[in-house]
Structure 1
Amino acid sequence: MRVFVTGASGWIGSAIVDELLAAGHEVTGLARSDASAAALATKGALVRRGDLDDPAGIHAGAEAADAVFHLANKHDWSDLAGTAAAERTAVQTIVDTLAGSGRPFLLASGVAGLAYGRPATEADPSPAHGPDSPRGGTENLALEYVDRGVHAVSLRFSPTVHGMGDHGFISVIANIARQQGVSGYPADGANRWAAVHRTDAARMAVLGLAKAPAGARLHAVAEEGVSTREIAEAIGRALDLPVAAVAPEDVAGHFGWIGAFFAADLTASSTATRELLGWTPTGPALLDDIAAGAYPA
């Protein structure tokens, strides 16, 4: 199968490209830099130069493919409106290109904000609708196109997709611990984050291409919830820093923009995904990766 991948050189995208190539697919990755293009070519993938601000290039990549993975996102926390707008435009371009073809379209989403007071499940619809909502409401936009002949599948990733070399949310929290001289956790640290190892997330995504029905919501979740106190304690041990609670009124000042996320309870289940795909996570747990030096001093 010819598969077009945006975000192909990213943290999750590069692992998914590896899985696709290992499964015998021909992969074309969208690359905005020479370094990204070279990394993809070294793996044996084809390269299409461009980025999320190039809808014509995204259209051409999708049009030439048998399936599309959309994994790119600007992740510009200083310009959330611009990030959402770019995401919306990219997904709208892809679904318009694939409409009526029945071809698979798998897009990155997340488990945050789906449920409160309990783990989110695959049955929980995304509350994000419209271009001004988080991620531009693109999960719902894509799934609306199931009735228009697009085999759309949502890939909902845990708030932490971890592993050696991770530069995501846990890396940000570890850097804040270094800067503050203390590994902090919000309030009593009882709120929890779902987690998955990068390789497990990639395997799930490629199984989704092979097995998931149109309209499916898949959860890349290995651990339903790891408490933020446990995370902070593991970071403290790894970086040889003291560990302390951060009062709710001080969370924003201590953690900055990520404070609201770190203080949230972002738990999720993947029971339905495991049953549907025959997927069993086998990678290291989050605390094991922290202890092994995934976020070095």
Structure 2
Amino acid sequence: MKVFVTGASGFLGKRLVHRLKRAGHEVGANGRSVESRKALTQDGVTHVVDGSLENIDAWADRLAGFDVLVHAAAPIEMWGPWPRFEAQIVDATAKLIDAASRHGVKRFIYISSESVWQDVDPLVGIDETRPPAAQPNSFYGRAKKLAEQAVFGYGGPIERIVLRPTFIWGPDSPACAAILQQAGNGGFVWIDGGRAPFEAVHVDNVAEAILLAVDHGRSGEAYAVTDGRDYTVRGFFSAMFERAGLPVPRLSLPGWLLRPAAALMEKLWRICGIASKPPLTRFELAFVSQPRRYRIDKIRRDLGYRPLA
């Protein structure tokens, strides 16, 4: 098949391109700069398009002839003004699925996020029958939720599948690198002892889920993607710190004290128009304290998913 990938130069995208090529698929991707397009060619992308998600109309015709589009591009920042998230996630996704459908692409796979579920409630034992949160705890989660609605609500004939990976980890992960830097600087603390159940998914498992979704899965469905392991916050990150040769942090603070503080900081930063991220946000706090354990029976059944890494 011919598969077009957005975000192909990113952490997940690079792994996905490699897996698609190895499986015998022909891969296309877009790049906004000469350097990124050169890197895509070196990574084995056969059809490299000059363009970004900000000018989709200018290169949409290049999607003609592709069977599947995997939309894996998204900003990695979790803080910023809402219009930026709306433009880069919601509007771009809506334009992209329309462009793909108009140019004959048969299937659209959207890489969403567990953040659509995250508010203040524990998320233990849930599956895809649970609707997204009414008010996700971040603009990122809100934008991903609205982008999903744009995908599922699109009226064209294109098949639509949404994948919701949890925290994506693995070698060269920018998120893992940031956490290790924080721990190395003494800035990482446990919340409530780090006892909360935690979900994560290795980048190779996400790539595997996408590869399966190219051929399998039911249109109009969303699928949670995890490692299928019983991680806890403390167990997962302690292992990460030890592998990196860092001491495991000892300090723990109570969540009941920090949650209102994070909400207040966010409110003050927005009222005052401060562009920088607050010292603490609700999303960051929930990341290391909100109990999360998702059932992945659906992706196992429909896609034949079996975690590899």
Q: Secondary structure at the match of 2:294?
A: coil
Q: Secondary structure at the match of 1:51?
A: coil
Aligned amino acid, residue 174 of structure 2: H
2:213 matched to which residue of 1? 208
1:256 matched to which residue of 2? 280
1:51 matched to which residue of 2? 52
Aligned amino acid, residue 97 of structure 2: V
Alpha-carbon distance in structure 2 between the residues aligned to 1:246 and 1:58: 50
Matches within 5 A, 1:36-115: 36-45=36-45, 46-57=47-58, 59-81=60-82, 82-99=84-101, 101=104, 103-114=106-117
Alpha-carbon distance in structure 1 between the residues aligned to 2:79 and 2:188: 24
Q: Secondary structure at the match of 2:4?
A: strand
- Long gaps (5+) in structure 2: 266-277
Q: 1:156 aligns with which of 164, 176, 195?
A: 164
Shift of 1:162: 1.3
Q: Secondary structure at the match of 1:267?
A: strand
CA distances 1:249-293 after superposition (whole Å, capped 9, x unpaired): 35759973423422222322211101222221121xxxxxxxxxx
Q: Secondary structure at the match of 1:256?
A: coil
1:177 matched to which residue of 2? 183
CA distances 1:212-249 after superposition (whole Å, capped 9, x unpaired): 12112122211355211223433443312542212333
Alpha-carbon distance in structure 2 between the residues aligned to 1:236 and 1:203: 26
Alpha-carbon distance in structure 2 between the residues aligned to 1:103 and 1:207: 15
Q: Is the 8 A contact 1:111 1:266 kept in 2?
A: no
Q: Secondary structure at the match of 1:263?
A: coil
2:201 matched to which residue of 1? 196
2:273 matched to which residue of 1? none
Runs ≥4 in structure 1, deviation > 6 angstroms?
none
Identity of aligned residues (%): 23
Alpha-carbon distance in structure 2 between the residues aligned to 1:207 and 1:30: 22
Q: Is the 8 A contact 1:196 1:222 kept in 2?
A: yes
Q: 2:151 aligns with which of 142, 156, 171?
A: 142
Q: Is the 8 A contact 1:102 1:149 kept in 2?
A: no
1:221 matched to which residue of 2? 226
Distance 1:140 1:157, change over 3 A: same
1:33 matched to which residue of 2? 33
Q: Is the 8 A contact 2:28 2:49 kept in 1?
A: yes
Scaled by the length of structure 1, what TM-score is found?
A: 0.82
Aligned length: 277
CA distances 1:105-164 after superposition (whole Å, capped 9, x unpaired): 0011112343743233133333469xx83326111210122x531201001111x21111
Aligned amino acid, residue 2 of structure 1: K
CA RMSD of aligned residues (A): 2.7
Alpha-carbon distance in structure 2 between the residues aligned to 1:108 and 1:85: 17
Aligned amino acid, residue 134 of structure 1: A
Aligned amino acid, residue 211 of structure 1: H
Is residue 244 of structure 1 aligned with residue 246 of structure 2? no
Aligned amino acid, residue 262 of structure 1: V
CA distances 1:75-98 after superposition (whole Å, capped 9, x unpaired): 333425102322112111122224
Q: Is the 8 A contact 2:218 2:302 kept in 1?
A: no
Q: Secondary structure at the match of 1:86?
A: helix
Q: Is the 8 A contact 1:111 1:268 kept in 2?
A: no
Alpha-carbon distance in structure 1 between the residues aligned to 2:181 and 2:126: 28
